[in-house]
Chains A and B, each alone.
Chain A
C-alpha cells in the first residue's frame, strides 16, 4: 500500500487545519470568512481526488475512451461550490452590518462592548 497512495489525503488534512486555525485563532471576521473558504476548498479536493481512477478521463462520453472517472463526486462538489459562495456572500453582508452598527469587526472589542452594556444597566 505504501504511504504514497495516501498523499492526497494528507494534503487535504494540512489545508483543512490551516483553514481551521485561521477561523479559531483571530477575532477579525474577514479572516474567519477566509478561513472557512479555505476549509471548504480542502473538502472539495478530498472528494474529487477520491473519485479519480488512474488511467481514466473526464466523464464525458467519447469514442475511443473506455475508463471514465466517477461523475458522482463531481455533481456533489458542483452543488457545494455554489452553496459556498452563497454562504460567503451572506456572511460578508452580516460583517458589513455589524461594522456599521458597532463600529468594528473584531470579536474582542464586540465582547467588551457587550459587557459594558450589562454592567451599566
Chain B
C-alpha cells in the first residue's frame, strides 16, 4: 500500500478532514445527532486509515502506545470526576446542578464534559485494540521461519 500513489494522496487529503469531522460531531452533539461515541469511533477510524496506508510504526509515532494507555484511563476519570465534583459541591453523584449558578448552563457544562470523557476513552480503546491485533500479526510473521523447521 505504500507505493500506491493515488491512495497516499487521497488519504493525505482525507485524514485531516475526517478528524475535523470527528471533533465537529463531538462538540456539536448537543444540537445535531452526535456525541461522544460517534466522535470517538470516527476519530479512531481516521487513525486506522493512517496506519493502513503509512504503516503501523508511522502511526505509532503520531500517537504512541503509552499515550493510549494514559488517555484510556483519563477519559473515564474525567467522567467520574464530574460525578464526584457534584457530590463535593453539595448535590448527588453526577448531579450537574451545583456546578454553576444558572441551571441550564450547569447542565450544558456537565453534558459537554462528560461526552468529552467518553469520546476520549472510546477513541483510544479502539486504536489500542487495532494496534494489539496488528502487532500480533507482525510477531507471527517474524516467528514463522522457525515454526516450519519444527514441524518436521
A–B contact with Cβ pairs below 8 Å: the answer is yes
Q: Which residues of A contact B (CB under 8 A)?
A: 58, 60, 78, 81-82, 85-86, 89, 92-93, 96, 100
B26 to chain A, nearest CB (A): 15
Residue B9 is within 8 A (CB to CB) of chain A in the complex: no
In the complex, the answer to whether B129 meets A89 with C-beta atoms within 8 Å is yes
Residue B39 is within 8 A (CB to CB) of chain A in the complex: no
Interface residues on B, range: 10 to 19
In the complex, the answer to whether B129 meets A78 with C-beta atoms within 8 Å is no
In the complex, the answer to whether A82 meets B37 with C-beta atoms within 8 Å is yes
Q: Which chain A positions have C-beta within 8 A of B126?
A: 85
Bound-state CA distance A81–B37 (Å) is 10
B101 to chain A, nearest CB (A): 24
Nearest B residue to A79 via CB reads B37
Q: Which residues of B contact A (CB under 8 A)?
A: 31-33, 37, 122, 125-126, 129, 132-133, 136, 140
Decide: A58 near B33, CB < 8 A? Known: A89-B129, A93-B132, A96-B136: yes
B49 to chain A, nearest CB (A): 17
Q: List 10 A-B contacts (CB under 8 A).
A: A58-B33, A60-B31, A60-B32, A60-B33, A85-B126, A86-B125, A89-B129, A93-B129, A93-B133, A96-B133
